[in-house]
Amino acid sequence: MSIKKVAQLAGVSTATVSRYLNNPEQVKERTRLKVQSAIDETGYAPNTLARNFRRGRTSLIVVVLPTVGDPFLENVMRGIWRVADEQGYSILIRDTQSNSHEFDEYTDMVFSKQADGILLLASISPFEEPTGKPRASNKVHPPIVLGLESVTAELNQFPSVRVDNVAAAADGTHYLIQLGHQRIGFIAGKRNSLLTHDREKGYRKAMRKAKLPVASGWVVEGEQTLEGARRATRRLLSHKERPTAIFCANDEMALGAIHEIKNAGLKVPEDISVIGFDDIRYAEIMDPPLTTIAQPAEEIGERTMRRLCQAIEGSDGDSEAEIVPHKLIVRKSTANAPR
């Protein structure tokens, strides 16, 4: 069935049918109903591949993330899928496992215009060689939008959607200080990643404001993983004056910290309070339920995808970060500092 047959049945021109398929809002409602009725009657299906070729589009978006197993990123993806489906885009997910070399082959695909845009979710840069050197800059990349924080300084040039990590971490630390805690440790992410640097800045900012010291060894690297957090917690517990509270830069590390504190024969929160960041779906059912900084994951996904659509259409030239609100969720993993 051809577009010409649909036009004849609807009593309109083929140009009108084409306009309806591509920009229905530009067609009068009465005409839209006639064209849609003809499409329903004939079973006509447009050749999407040919249409995209004429438009110079693929209707494909590449989403790059460090791991598909991250429960927080899973919620962000829900928002992305929702808007992508609404706007007629397909999604190709690339799990890098934090390895820039593995992403190299996908970079070639993107630079050869087999995708209309890229979403980087807390992920590595597509512009580095496996050696770490910048990739040749003579290639033109499609629009790029960051969901969440920049992993490297190079990515700060691109628009992003995220919370104010400095303010959010300062709020969480201030809450612990209000509970009477003065010895507060911090479990950060990887030292070579900017992902949790702003959260550490917020922690230090709140400690300075309260005129509380950050003792040597109270800020430790947890690698943003369960096992990394367990090792970091053991180091914190080995201090002569161990912290009475631990702020973890994400909820997965908070889960590892709580597990290790219990293994040491201590109680949460009676002996040590623990606070996380993200509010993943497991936070509420942890033992004890986790106090955490909540990020609106699905909203971040939706806004990130909408911003990329605007960039693809050429209507978003703003590289500023779009800040969404965070919220402190108080549960049972925090309590007043022990005497």
Q: What is the 3-state secondary structure (H, E, C) of 151-205?
A: CCHHHHHCCEEECCHHHHHHHHHHHHHHCCCCCEEEEECCCCCCCCHHHHHHHHH
Asked, for residue 250, whether it belongs to a domain, the answer is yes
Contact (Cβ atoms closer than 8 angstroms) between residue 89 and residue 147: no
Buried b (16+ CB within 10 A) or exposed e, 69-83: ebebbebbbebbbeb
Helix (H, G, I), strand (E, B) or coil at 273: strand
Angle between helices 14-22 and 3-10 (to 10 degrees): 110
**Which pLDDT does position 58 carry in this prediction?**
74
Residues 152-183: tens digit of each pLDDT: 888 888 899 999 999 999 999 999 999 999 99
User: CA-CA distance, 127 to 139, in Å (whole number)?
Assistant: 10
The mean pLDDT value for 42-52 works out to: 62
Q: Classify residue 81: in a domain, yes or no.
A: yes
CATH number of residue 191's parent domain: 3.40.50.2300
Amino acid at 288: P
Percentage of the residues of the chain whose pLDDT score is greater than 70: 86
Residue 53 has pLDDT above 70, yes or no: no
More reliable by pLDDT, 132 or 285: 285
pLDDT at position 4 is: 85
In the predicted model, what is the mean pLDDT of residues 265-283? 96
pLDDT in tens, 198-256: 999 999 999 999 999 999 999 999 988 999 999 999 999 999 889 999 999 999 999 99
- Report the CATH number that the domain containing residue 36 is assigned in CATH: 1.10.260.40
51 lies in some domain: no
In a domain, 339, yes or no: no
| Total number of residues shown for the chain | 339
In a domain, 316, yes or no: yes
Q: Is the model's pLDDT at 5 over the cut of 90?
A: no
Q: What is the mean pLDDT of residues 93-118?
A: 68
pLDDT at residue number 104: 57
Both tokens of 5, joined, read 């047959």
- C-alpha span between 113 and 153 (Å, rounded): 25
Identify the weakest region by mean pLDDT among 40-44, 76-80, 254-258: 40-44
Cα–Cα distance for residue pair 234/228, rounded to 1 Å: 10
**What pLDDT score does 138 carry?**
47
For every residue of 66-135, DSSP letters joined together read S-TT-HHHHHHHHHHHHHHHHHT-EEEEEE-TT-HHHHHHHHHHHHTTSSSEEEEES---TTB-TTSPBP
What pLDDT band is residue 27 in, cutting at 50, 70 and 90? confident
- Kindly tell me if the per-residue pLDDT of 263 is higher than 90: yes
Based on the domain organization, do 66 and 22 belong to the same domain? no
**288 and 199 in a common domain:** yes
Q: Are residues 39 and 109 in the same domain?
A: no
Q: Are residues 21 and 63 in the same domain?
A: no
CA distance 10 to 5: 9
- pLDDT at position 205 is 98
* Higher per-residue confidence, 283 vs 7: 283
- How many domains would you assign to the chain? 3
pLDDT at 80 over 90: yes
Per-residue confidence (pLDDT) for residue 3, from 0 to 100:
81
pLDDT value for 49: 45
> pLDDT tens digits, residue range 115-154?
888 999 988 766 555 444 445 444 567 889 999 988 888 8
131 is a domain residue: yes
pTM of the predicted model, to two decimals? 0.79
Average pLDDT (99-106) is: 56
Share the mean pLDDT of the chain: 87
Question: Over the range 184-212, which residues count as b (16 or more CB within 10 Å of their CB) and which as e?
Answer: bbbbbbbeebbbbbbbbebbbbbbeeeee
Residues 28, 85, single domain; the answer is no
